[in-house]
Amino acid sequence: MMPLLPGATIGVLGGGQLGRMMALAARRMGYRVVVLDPSARCPTAPVADGVVVGALDDLAAAKHLAAQVDVITLDTEHVPADLLEALEPIAPVRPGAKVLRTIQDRLVQKQFLDALGLPQATWAPADDLEAALAKVGRPAILKVRRAGYDGKGQARVEPGVDPAAALATLRGEPAVAEALVRFAREVSVVLARGMGGEIRIYPIAENVHRRHVLHTTRAPAPMPATQRARAEGIAVTIAEALEHVGVLAVEMFELPDGQLLVNELAPRTRNSGHYTYGACATSQFEQHVRAVCGLPLGDPRALTGAVMVNLIGDLWRAGPPAWAAVLARPEARLHLYGKDAPAPGRKMGHVLLLDDDTDRALATAEQLIAQLEPT
Ligand code: AMP
């Protein structure tokens, strides 16, 4: 397979902030980018060479994009696998339909992880709710099988409450039940797998969520080398079993006894890998472009420690936040995604703090967020 060299055109399905940062990396390298998104005003549009407006399940629109590009990739896994399959005769799709089919349905994903013998929270299909809860216990978390993210499409079942009420909040969507995990922390492994099967792994990150949305990422996560090797081994096993091409993010729970449970897979760049854009020799966005174009992968090494803090729409309650405090800090990098409608819980941007002392950077992150809160 000949690599697609700069000058080639990359089609991106989904024009959110991940597509935007991928497009910026691709264009820096001399590629052209065409994006498919339901909105002509999506975050990727202003930095793309072309925009096809259409829903992510609109086959005619996707074929229109496919006809203009040399390779197709995505910024979300919520693109129907059947649609990807229909595009494959027109342009190569990386990652392919098989990867999406495994990942985009939580039930299939969990069966896949079980088949690999990888550890995850006790789970069961929620079709028979009583049987599922008998298996996973309470508290449990119900999660819709498809299209959930940032805690959307999730409901907790506490002991002593009617589980049917929790299930009803998911509006009849097929769901899985999972045991609530009392984790010590959440960590993620972001890696890239190239066309020839080579793998490059980024330093492991430690993530803190607030109200189900990622709040901070610290990298490298303080972690003994043996534990790091175990986490990396799990992520590599998954990437190879999927025959994935591109960036893959594997989110894990670390238990107090050190056990690692796989929580979630993303076959693309991810919020918990944003630190790589600024802190690593090759960002996850450039790495994804390299992988899907069949180029050699770049160096994933961290050049500095880093902490990322997400900027959520709530900070915009009284208008755009006052950025002076962020801009005044030499170690801070401000990223705004160009979204024109701040909404509570919506990811609007992030701040990256470059500092080898990541404890200090975490404290600075909290201080900056407090300063950005409307008074
Ligand atoms: P998810 O969309 O599955 O990644 O869930 C979002 C966040 O909810 C996770 O990063 C955890 O912080 C929390 N969460 C999800 N599943 C569980 C679980 N089984 N036990 C405890 N916390 C969970």
CATH topology (fold) of 122-179: Dna Ligase; domain 1 (3.30.1490)
Residue nearest atom 9 in ligand 1 by C-alpha distance: 212
Residue nearest atom 18 in ligand 1 by C-alpha distance: 180
Q: pLDDT tens for the chain, 375 residues: list them.
A: 799 999 999 999 999 999 999 999 999 999 999 999 999 999 999 999 999 999 999 999 999 999 999 999 999 999 999 999 999 999 999 999 999 999 999 999 999 999 999 999 999 999 999 999 999 999 999 999 997 666 678 999 999 888 888 888 888 889 999 999 999 999 999 999 999 999 999 999 999 999 989 999 999 999 999 999 999 999 999 999 999 999 999 999 999 999 999 999 999 999 999 999 999 999 999 999 999 999 999 999 999 999 999 999 999 999 999 999 999 999 999 999 999 889 999 999 999 999 999 999 999 999 999 999 998
| Backbone dihedral angles phi then psi of residue 107, each to the nearest 5 degrees | -65, -45
Residue span(s) of the chain under CATH 3.40.50.20 come to 9-93
Does the domain at 185-372 match CATH 3.30.470.20? Answer given as yes
Residue span(s) of the chain under CATH 3.30.1490.20 come to 122-179
Lookup: tokens for 121: 């929270």
pLDDT digit string, tens, across residues 154-176: 999 999 888 888 888 888 889 99
| pTM for the structure as a whole | 0.97
| Cα of 25 from ligand 1 centre, angstroms | 30
pLDDT digit string, tens, across residues 265-287: 999 999 999 999 999 999 999 99
| Cα of 141 from ligand 1 centre, angstroms | 8
Contacts of residue 287, defined as CB under 8 A and 6 or more positions apart, other chains included, come to 192, 200, 247, 276, 297, 298, 300
| Cα of 4 from ligand 1 centre, angstroms | 38
Tell me the best of 123, 180, 263, 271 to mutate to test the pocket of ligand 1, counting ligand atoms within 8 Å of each CB and taking the most.
Answer: 263
Q: Under CATH, which number does the domain 9-93 receive?
A: 3.40.50.20
Residue span(s) of the chain under CATH 3.30.470.20 come to 185-372
Q: What is the DSSP string of 199-213?
A: EEEPPPEEEEEETTE
pLDDT digit string, tens, across residues 94-104: 999 999 999 99
- Which ligand 1 atom sits nearest the alpha carbon of residue 214? 10
CB 74 within 8 A of CB 22: no
Residue nearest atom 8 in ligand 1 by C-alpha distance: 212
